[in-house]
Amino acid sequence: MTNIEFKEKLQIAIQKQNHELLEEVIELFWSFEPKNLIEEEFNQLLLTPNHYQHQYLTKYLQDVLRFESSVSVIDQILTQGFEYMNHYSEDGVIAKWFSHALMDIGTPEAITVLKKHAESSNPEIRQEMQYRLLKNGIINKIPYDSISLQLTSYEEQQASLPTEGNHFIAHEADDTLTFYAAFNDAIANYAVANQRFGGHAFSFNRMTWIKPSFMWMMYRSEWATAENQQRILALRIRKQDAVKMLQEGVLSSFDATKYTDEAAWKQDLSQSEVRIQWDPDHDEFGMKLKRKAIQIGLKGEVLRKFATEMLSQIEDITSFVTAQRIQKSINSDFLVPQEKVFFFEGNFLKISL
């Protein structure tokens, strides 16, 4: 087939929006040589959103073709988007391969397009472009929205914390402690706007779990990527309210060293609206540590008071979390909220503290 015949067939497929014919043209593209004769047609294939081979075409652009003329085409695609831009395959999202292609083309125009879409409103596009710029040393940190939490180096903080045992570790500011919880957009938007929980999406009839350990929250929410956990909220409450919750807490599972029998534990459990659970803390790779982190589950009247009365601040830190997730994938020099071990007055042996 000549390049003229190839062009004609492609134009017919695009005009008729014929998916089968378009797939046939793509198959012809793979065998056509030399490909520089159909550079313009290749760019048309990239611009045509009714097929699912963008990933393969873009990877081929990255590995082999590196057409400079494709830069403006990629810019147009990333600006306009298409319905499967966030589609995942075993090789990642399609936006990943656009970032690869732009970096490997490497012209000033290509780098400019990378930087432009590193500020995209589409989180998949934005994060992929930021990652590529960071990995190649074009930027040295990922920008994020300002937050009120005091921050420190992850490595420095880990070196200062116990390596094993049960510990209440949290961020402190003034007379408050910070807990974390992950929610979907509907719950998070209402909570941040109203500085309390409520609205149609939040349920007071189910238990809500809060965690003072930032890294355990990152493990649990998969760094704000798990379903219905894409928004991370920092919840600030007074220390005295945190102590009261601990005093009312009951271990979520039976511990023979704390109760004479299971019946006594069940009785305490039935009378309390606060659950205490200890789980292994995790490092930046999601690996378990010997140190255990505390979770506190709230329900009933305690949950209502927590959600509507106790909170002195609800802060959305999702932007910060996303930036550190990208940063840690390049090196371990990322930031976390500053945390330390707390020792509370009173006897908390019944909850293993």
Where among 135, 161, 181 does a domain terminate? 135
Q: What CA–CA distance (Å, rounded) separates 98 from 86?
A: 12
User: Exposed e or buried b for every residue in 5-40, given b needs 16+ CB within 10 A?
Assistant: ebbebbeebbeeeeeeebeebbeebeebeebeebbe
What are phi and psi for residue 50, nearest 5 degrees? -100, 35
Asked whether residue 315 is assigned to any structural domain, the reply reads: yes
Residue of 65, 184, 67, 76 whose CA lies nearest to 125: 76
pLDDT in tens, the chain (353 residues): 888 999 999 999 988 888 888 889 999 999 999 999 999 999 999 988 766 688 889 999 999 999 999 999 999 999 987 766 666 666 667 888 899 999 999 999 999 999 999 999 988 899 999 999 999 999 999 999 999 999 999 999 999 999 999 999 999 999 999 999 999 999 999 999 999 999 999 999 999 999 999 999 999 999 999 999 999 999 999 999 999 999 999 999 999 999 989 999 999 999 999 999 999 999 999 999 999 999 999 999 999 999 999 999 999 999 999 999 999 999 878 999 999 999 988 889 889 98
Q: What CA–CA distance (Å, rounded) separates 69 from 155?
A: 44
Asked whether residue 173 falls in the same domain as residue 290, the answer is yes
Residues with Cβ < 8 Å from 171, sequence gap 6 or more? 149, 150, 177, 178, 212, 214, 234, 337, 338, 339
Asked whether residue 15 falls in the same domain as residue 94, the answer is yes
pLDDT reported for residue 161: 98
Where among 78, 103, 135 does a domain terminate? 135
| Domain ranges, residue 120 | 3-135
Where among 135, 165, 183 does a domain terminate? 135
The answer to whether the beta carbons of residues 127 and 323 sit under 8 Å apart is: no
User: How many distinct structural domains can be found in the chain?
Assistant: 2
* Beta carbons within 10 angstroms of residue 158's beta carbon: 17
Asked whether residue 51 is assigned to any structural domain, the reply reads: yes
Asked whether residue 104 falls in the same domain as residue 210, the answer is no
Asked whether residue 130 falls in the same domain as residue 159, the answer is no
The answer to whether the beta carbons of residues 29 and 42 sit under 8 Å apart is: yes
* Beta carbons within 10 angstroms of residue 341's beta carbon: 13
The answer to whether the beta carbons of residues 61 and 70 sit under 8 Å apart is: yes
Asked whether residue 100 falls in the same domain as residue 182, the answer is no
